[in-house]
Structure 1
Amino acid sequence: MLVLLPPSEGKAEGTDGPALELARLSLPELTPAREMVLTELAELCAADEVKAREILGLSERQTGEVARNAVLRTAPTLPAGQLYTGVLYDALGLGTLGGTARERAERALLVFSGLWGALRVGDPVPAYRCSGGVRLPALGPLARHWREPLGKALPEAAEGRLVLDLRSTAYAGMWKPDPRTARRTTTVRVLQSRTVNGVEKRSVVSHFNKATKGRIVRALLESGAEPTTPDELTGVLRDLGYHVEGENAARLDVVVTEV
């Protein structure tokens, strides 16, 4: 199984790891494309703070993010699985997984990024700010920039595996599975169920959605299950106690009751 995750805007602080080495990152086919984004982003943030904030969609209070991007090449790094914080990653709790589940996470999880393309959770990278929806002056939209290199690198990574796509919209545009991979790809939509005046209502709530997806991934990693089709994944999730609906194999609806 290959699980595609979005990154988080929140990043861990206080790392003292070594400086970035692009050659150490997984999916080395992405190195040239990573170098292009890294170079333009760092130069932009070092040269023009105001313009950089505008392009990155940051407020004046987030000026520190611009300064951080300017020194990406020399900043200390942290494994991606420790770097990303936020609701999904808090619920996933990579740092508290047991040894076997942690090894499975290293093989199964792929985090998408506007700057790096895609990362394994063990890849050491510095804290940064650059979403998948950013349009850089020279490279243009990052989603478009990544389509070709990811299109070449990911089919091999996904070969023969069920692909569980949990990416948000900004990152889904960076790579679309080829027809053969698409047949083994499914997404999960989390629906929050609550009863109002005796009537059940369902809705997608961002915080609830992210937390549940994090818990689902953790449960899958700890279960040791290796589903190879969407139908098998449905069975595994039901065995894990989730209420799964939907006849469309390309999208599973997980219904969680509000507590």
Structure 2
Amino acid sequence: MEIRLQKYLANAGIASRRKAEKYILEGKVKVNGKVITNLGTKINTEKDLVYFNDKKVCVKNKKVYILLNKPENYITTANDQFDRPTVMDLLPSISERVYPVGRLDYNTSGLLLLTNDGELTYKLTHPKHHISKTYIAKVKGIPDENSLNKLRKGIVIDGYKTSPAKIKLVRKFSENSEIEITIYEGRNRQVRKMCEAIGHPVLKLKRIAIGKIFLKDLPLGKYRYLTKEEISYLKKL
């Protein structure tokens, strides 16, 4: 069976397909002892030997799907050059090599999916699929309906107009408030920039759902495996 090299690396749990492409371009991948930098390269899964950073790559059949309630001050990568804690530190008992599906900022908490299913990761993170992500944002001040409507219709940040978002004012406090925001894009720090654009900067941010996968009452810093129904739902998106 022939398969593209980046897809094979993703299936083996090395990284997402796009990150695997980056590794190939950086010369970190060998096939039968030869460094490969061509993204169009296909391999024979029964005959060819693939190495990443000089370690043999093998595709394991067991797929793992994890939901983590990420705390603030954790990096959403496997390693950090500044030696900050990463989300992998919260999964000490997971023997399979998994990687995050997308990112959550260092100072953002909440729902993070991790898996070794490269195909699912590719689907969930590709911009064309527009999968909803829901956040609770504690913001400075109390935005009025006019400000919230700007977010609902789409607002210009970093030179582009965001897609229409679902917005709901959840709670009011004396000097700040909480709003529920559902977006269908995944641009860098998008929710924070949207709130900043209407004059109500984010004080705390938590992701509570991806599509119909909900964080619910999972304790902070803990994880659970997705149910069969949740996995089936994600694969059908």
TM-score range, shorter chain: under 0.3
- Give the greater-gyration-radius structure (CA): 2
Normalized against structure 1, the TM-score is what? 0.26
